[in-house]
């Protein structure tokens, strides 16, 4: 489960005052007294433990998940960010600095960490796009508005705080089904939760002349009715273009 906030501290470093076994979840250092207070369950501060005498590959990333102001001990999660928990003798070095997670590049979205903090950004190579972690999941690192700026949807519901507003748009060519003249539009990539509003228009009046009305929206797309003078079109080729805002 994601911690909500990843903290950072300028120029903070020191040495362990007590040896730590690989299973220890409490670390001690006189210099921990300079760290900020950290709220359990909502914040964490990454630290890197290391032994310079063993070279640059001997290190472990830990997350400080609880710290009382001025205290010389911290509560930690061990072996984070792809490292392994290990024993550290007294006087082992620690430093609060950037880790690979602060500039993460992954090949596909499957490589994004499951324990990412809110606001974490990463680059997805196979899509050539930056993504950001929000309370509702990973989404493209671009937005169209704050949640308070958009809504309500068809059911009178506004996006809540923390929802990320983005856009879906495209063209679709279809043949209307017999009976009701309804066309289903499926977004190339669905929204995480719902469409707030969609607008669909005729993109080729040589195929069809009439009305296009959006009658329902979903997170994956919308449904429209194609008609002329209120009469539904049956087996009619249509080309539609759409744009939708959702979250």
The C-alpha atoms of residue 243 and residue 190 are separated, in whole angstroms, by 13
Q: What is the pLDDT of residues 89-100, one digit of tens each?
A: 999 999 998 898
Average pLDDT, the chain: 91
CA atoms within 13 A on the CB side of 247: 23
pLDDT of residue 75: 97
Backbone angles phi, psi at 147, to 5 degrees: -55, -35
Domain ranges in the chain are 5-97, 102-140, 147-246
CB-CB contact of 9 with 33 (8 Å): no
Find out whether 206 and 222 touch, Cβ atoms under 8 Å: no
Asked if 220 and 186 touch (Cβ cutoff 8 Å), the reply is yes
Q: What is residue 57's predicted lDDT score, i.e. its pLDDT?
A: 79
108-127 mean pLDDT: 92
Residue 190 backbone dihedrals phi, psi, to 5 degrees: -70, 160
The CATH code for residues 147-246 is: 2.60.40.3940
Residue 231: the pLDDT is: 65
pLDDT band at 62 (very low <50, low <70, confident <90, very high): very high
Query: Which residue matches tokens 């049956």?
Result: 234
User: 0.85 cut: is pTM over it?
Assistant: no
pLDDT above 60 (res 1): no
Query: Residue 2's pLDDT is what?
Result: 56
Q: What is the pLDDT of residue 92?
A: 95
pLDDT (tens digit per residue) in 185-211: 999 999 989 999 999 999 998 888 888
Three state DSSP letters for 12-46: EEEECCCCECCCCCEEECHHHHHCCCECCCCEEEE
Q: What percent of the chain has pLDDT over 90?
A: 66
């Amino acid at each position: 489960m994601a911690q909500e906030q990843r903290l950072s501290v300028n120029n903070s470093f020191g040495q362990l005052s007590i040896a730590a076994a690989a299973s220890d979840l409490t670390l001690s250092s006189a210099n921990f007294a300079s760290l900020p207070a950290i709220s359990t369950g909502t914040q964490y501060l990454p630290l890197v433990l290391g032994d310079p005498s063993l070279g640059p590959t001997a290190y472990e990333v830990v997350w400080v998940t609880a710290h009382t102001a001025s205290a010389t001990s911290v509560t930690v999660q061990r072996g984070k960010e792809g490292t392994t928990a290990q024993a550290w003798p007294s006087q082992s070095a620690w430093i609060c600095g950037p880790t690979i997670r602060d500039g993460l590049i992954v090949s596909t979205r499957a490589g994004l960490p499951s324990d990412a903090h809110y606001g974490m950004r990463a680059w997805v190579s196979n899509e050539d796009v930056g993504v950001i972690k929000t309370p509702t999941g990973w989404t493209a690192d671009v937005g169209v508005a704050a949640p308070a700026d958009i809504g309500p949807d068809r059911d009178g519901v506004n996006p809540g705080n923390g929802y990320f507003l983005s856009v879906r748009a495209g063209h679709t060519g279809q043949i209307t089904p017999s009976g009701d003249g309804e066309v289903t539009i499926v977004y190339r990539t669905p929204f995480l939760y719902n469409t707030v509003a969609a607008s669909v228009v005729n993109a080729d009046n040589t195929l069809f002349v009439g009305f296009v009305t959006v009658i329902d929206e979903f997170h994956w797309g919308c449904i429209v009715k194609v008609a002329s003078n209120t009469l539904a079109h049956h087996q009619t080729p249509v080309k539609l273009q759409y744009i939708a805002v959702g979250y």
